[in-house]
Structure 1
Amino acid sequence: MDCVTDAPNSTPLLGATEIRRLAEEVGVRPTKTLGQNFVIDGNTIRRIVSAAKVKPDETVVEVGPGLGSLTLGLIDAARSVVAVEIDPPLAKRLPQTIAEFRPERVDDFTVILSDAMDVTSLPDPQPTALVANLPYNVAVPVLLHFFEHFPTLQHGLVMVQDEVADRLAAGPGSKTYGVPSAKAAWYADVKKAGVIGMNVFWPAPKIHSGLVSFERRETPVVDDVRREDVFAVIDAAFAQRRKTLRAALAGWAGTAARAEEILVAAGISPQARGETLSILEFAQIARSAQNLDACGAA
């Protein structure tokens, strides 16, 4: 058994040999389709849990727990953990792993067999933190989905492909600022929290991973505008990134002239580009369109 302890009083975590044993036991070979790269380094798990600032009274939701590397670290830190796993053999094995390595915590763990994008409700108590090693191919959609459907999430930390981490944490004017950055900013203050090397995974990916932390906004960006309307503006603005907002928003607004009218009313230059706008400015555009439509209907 290859459990990482590091120090005499450390709680054992899964190491490389143990992860491979568990995978063989359930007949699982990591697949690119499911974005499976299992963490085999206990120090990395401790780093993630520490950076996530999980509190002892919290319920944490973990997406893509795999063989349970991070799950064990989370259950050591939190009151309870609910894990969402898409792979049936892995989901079936997880409770047994908790019973084997944390027998005193079996009642504090729940696993849900589902595609994370299909999950719109979770058992009580509702999660206040999201901590996950997200599959690279669906990381941004999953994060935005959980932001939307679980308003109880107050903070968290996710591990994603390093370039995706840069995009999520980017601010206006950055070369990496785009749709993920703006939409994530609607929900939370997002920051990059570090880089993880390739050799802490099995199988080792060909790229580095990045840690992204978030803190939920206490108040909405704008009170009187719908998220869907703001996101429609964001999608239109970045669909033609090199064009001015007047041109890029023409299809969304109906005509370029209408887009200019909306932008001017919002106090934003029609010659500006989407990559320079903050989430507040995108919201102001959506609200301006809403107000002009209301005036036209009056």
Structure 2
Amino acid sequence: MTDTSAGPRLLGPAEVRALAAELDVRPTKQKGQNFVIDPNTVRRIVRESGVSAADVVVEIGPGLGSLTLALLEVAGHVTAIEIDELLASRLERTITEYAPNQAANFGLLVQDALRVREVPGPAPTALVANLPYNVSVPVLLHMLQLLPSLERGLVMVQAEVADRLAAKPGSKTYGVPSVKAAWYADVRRAGSIGRNVFWPAPNVDSGLVAWTRREPPATTATREQVFAVIDAAFAQRRKALRGALRGVVGTAEEIDAALASAGIDPLARGEALVIGDFIRIAEGLPGIVATRNEARADD
């Protein structure tokens, strides 16, 4: 007789490789595929995320389902977004086999996370994911913008990206991801993950980034205008703001006036400013050209 009180069984190295062999999946760097094979690691991620039975979780890139199963142990509902149709074709059956009592609490959206415009089902309250390294920052920023219902989250990304997302002004790692993430949330580093918990093992270390949503800044500038200022300020990060902003607005006089109004030294650099400084600058530049790619991940 099946124990109906049992929680999900998790995937270990043998199960992950067996599922991959069944699908004839060969993980590729191009798709950012590194499958977690250690049950203790996915349980740690879920524990650090603070997810409970009251949460509706959205997961990006579930792959073969390692983290998904751990989330289903504690979350009220999990919606997974998977771009790979082959992996997605097996995922619901994996959930049914390994977590039969939680299968009703699982939803799947087969789509590119960067192109998602709506997440079906109950409004997500948390984002927990092992994000593909090559698109981690754009995906995170897109989800934060798309889903205002998100209250908090924990993502695993490349260690260098984790450092950038959680960096503070004045540090060498502080840049575009740091400031744009700060528009939406308070962000912090939440630990490191070793390479040996993945198959195949990546050539880089991984880090955990946790964030807590806060109210969006009160401003007369749009998010796009603020992000345009951020992009310009870090496009040539050693350049003073007076020169860096010439790419997004017309005259030196307008820039000087905006910086003076914001109380910002025109010879300061973007790496010294917090999100509130960028907002005040944008408010003084009504003719600013909105950024072409507000989720850019560089610098």
Which TM-score applies when normalising by structure 2?
0.92
Find the counterpart in structure 2 of residue 181 from structure 1: 178
Structure 1 position 261, deviation (Å): 1.4
The answer as to whether partners of 1:19 and 1:67 remain within 8 angstroms in 2 is yes
In structure 1, list runs of 5 or more residues that go unmatched. Answer: 1-8, 293-298
Find the counterpart in structure 2 of residue 289 from structure 1: 285
Find the counterpart in structure 1 of residue 209 from structure 2: 212
String of CA shifts for 1:220-278, please: whole Å, max 9, x gaps.
Answer: 22333210110000001111111110011122121223211110111111011000000
The answer as to 2:11 corresponding to 1:14 is yes
CA distance in 2, matches of 1:11, 1:22: 16
Q: How many residues align?
A: 283
Find the counterpart in structure 2 of residue 258 from structure 1: 254
Structure 1 position 102, deviation (Å): 0.6
Q: Secondary structure at the match of 2:253?
A: helix
The answer as to 2:276 corresponding to 1:280 is yes
The answer as to whether partners of 1:250 and 1:257 remain within 8 angstroms in 2 is no
The answer as to 2:24 corresponding to 1:33 is no
CA distance in 2, matches of 1:244, 1:222: 26
The answer as to whether partners of 2:193 and 2:206 remain within 8 angstroms in 1 is yes
Q: Secondary structure at the match of 1:130?
A: strand
The answer as to whether partners of 1:64 and 1:85 remain within 8 angstroms in 2 is yes
CA distance in 2, matches of 1:279, 1:288: 15
The answer as to whether partners of 2:254 and 2:285 remain within 8 angstroms in 1 is no
Equivalent of residue 269 in structure 1, options 243, 246, 265: 265
One-letter amino acid of the structure 2 residue matched with residue 58 of structure 1? D
Find the counterpart in structure 1 of residue 235 from structure 2: 239
CA distance in 2, matches of 1:124, 1:110: 8
Q: Secondary structure at the match of 1:269?
A: coil
Equivalent runs, 1:1-298 vs 2, <5 Å: 12-217=9-214, 219-290=215-286
Structure 1 position 83, deviation (Å): 0.4
The answer as to whether partners of 2:232 and 2:248 remain within 8 angstroms in 1 is yes
The answer as to whether partners of 2:9 and 2:99 remain within 8 angstroms in 1 is no
Which TM-score applies when normalising by structure 1?
0.92
Paired-residue identity, %: 59
CA distance in 2, matches of 1:10, 1:81: 15
Structure 1 position 27, deviation (Å): 1.5
The answer as to whether partners of 2:219 and 2:283 remain within 8 angstroms in 1 is no
The answer as to whether partners of 2:188 and 2:209 remain within 8 angstroms in 1 is yes
The answer as to whether partners of 1:52 and 1:213 remain within 8 angstroms in 2 is yes
Cα separation, partners in 2 of 1:291 and 1:90, compared to 1, 3 Å: closer
CA distance in 1, matches of 2:141, 2:80: 17
The answer as to whether partners of 1:222 and 1:280 remain within 8 angstroms in 2 is no
Structure 1 position 10, deviation (Å): 7.9
Q: Secondary structure at the match of 2:286?
A: helix
CA distance in 1, matches of 2:232, 2:202: 33
Greater RCO (Cα-Cα under 8 Å, separation 6 or more): 2
Q: For the aligned residues, what is the CA RMSD?
A: 1.4
Q: Secondary structure at the match of 2:210?
A: strand
Structure 1 position 11, deviation (Å): 5.2
One-letter amino acid of the structure 2 residue matched with residue 193 of structure 1? A
Cα separation, partners in 2 of 1:252 and 1:291, compared to 1, 3 Å: closer
